[in-house]
Amino acid sequence: AQSVTQLGSHVSVSEGALVLLRCNYSSSVPPYLFWYVQYPNQGLQLLLKYTSAATLVKGINGFEAEFKKSETSFHLTKPSAHMRDAAEYFCAVSSGYSTLTFGKGTMLLVSP
Amino acid sequence: EAGVAQSPRYKIIEKRQSVAFWCNPISGHATLYWYQQILGQGPKLLIQFQNNGVVDDSQLPKDRFSAERLKGVDSTLKIQPAKLEDSAVYLCASSPRQGTNTGELFFGEGSRLTVL
């Protein structure tokens, strides 16, 4: 069985501030981990993915995430938030040949 | 390259009525998925096709939901009869290969269903 827990349904930051979105996973086998972003009235778009290569993964739009096996975490960060980063972010896990299991999502709010 | 196309974008029906959603995946993508996204929750897989065969439909409420992927290309998801709790966004996604552990899913914009 696999699952994802995203801490905080909403995160608010000021423009230029550090963004940190938390994700913890549970998996009985080595996981593959993903972050997706969803802008209003749009589908999901892949930000980045971890597939057992480097533990620090860089994605699009300046986002990155670090896989920490000891903490079963895959937190998403960005050094400096932009207004255009306001969206909903989903962490997802896949194990073996199973399909993606998504977390409940974290809404990122960016204020000027 | 054209993305995943879905229609209609919005649909409002009354409970016990029927509705159908259509999806055309990215050309050449073998795998097609239907996800249900209820407000405030993450997407939940309803059904996965590999070409025109069903790989996983364990979470599809088969008493009211049905889906098909004729000729291994586009797909239709049907709900009959609809219940209030079916109000959600129905997302279609495709992938060029079987399995999602190393692959990326490409999502359409979704079809938003409101059941009154």
- Per the prediction, chain B carries an average pLDDT of 91
Distance CA A9, CA B104 (A): 24
Cβ within 8 Å, pair B107-A51: no
Averaged pLDDT, B8-25: 97
Residues B65-88: tens digit of each pLDDT = 999 998 889 999 999 999 999 999
Residues A58-71: tens digit of each pLDDT = 999 999 999 999 99
Closest partner residue to A104 among B42, B48, B99, by Cβ? Answer: B42
Residue B101 reports pLDDT greater than 60? no
Q: Does A5 touch chain B (CB under 8 A)?
A: no
pLDDT band, residue B102 (cuts 50/70/90):
low
Contact present, B1 and B25 (Cβ < 8 Å): no
Residue B63 reports pLDDT greater than 90? yes
Kindly list the residues from chain A whose CB atom is less than 8 angstroms away from the CB atom of residue B98: 97
3-state secondary structure of B70: helix
Averaged pLDDT, A20-24: 97
Instruction: Find, in chain B, the residue whose alpha carbon is nearest to that of A39.
Output: B109
Residues A68-99: tens digit of each pLDDT = 999 999 999 999 999 999 999 999 998 766 67
Strands in B1-116 per DSSP E: 5-7, 10-13, 19-24, 31-37, 44-50, 53-56, 65-68, 75-79, 88-95, 106-107, 111-115
Q: Does B99 touch chain A (CB under 8 A)?
A: yes
Interface residue of A9, A25, A44, A50 to substitute, partner B, most B CBs within 10 Å: A44
Count of beta carbons in the 10 Å neighbourhood of residue B42: 22
Q: Which of A71-85, B22-36, B77-91, B99-113 has the lowest mean pLDDT?
A: B99-113
Kindly list the residues from chain A whose CB atom is less than 8 angstroms away from the CB atom of residue B99: 94, 97
Distance CA B64, CA B45 (A): 16
pLDDT at residue A111 in the model: 96
* Selected residue with higher pLDDT from B77 and A40: B77
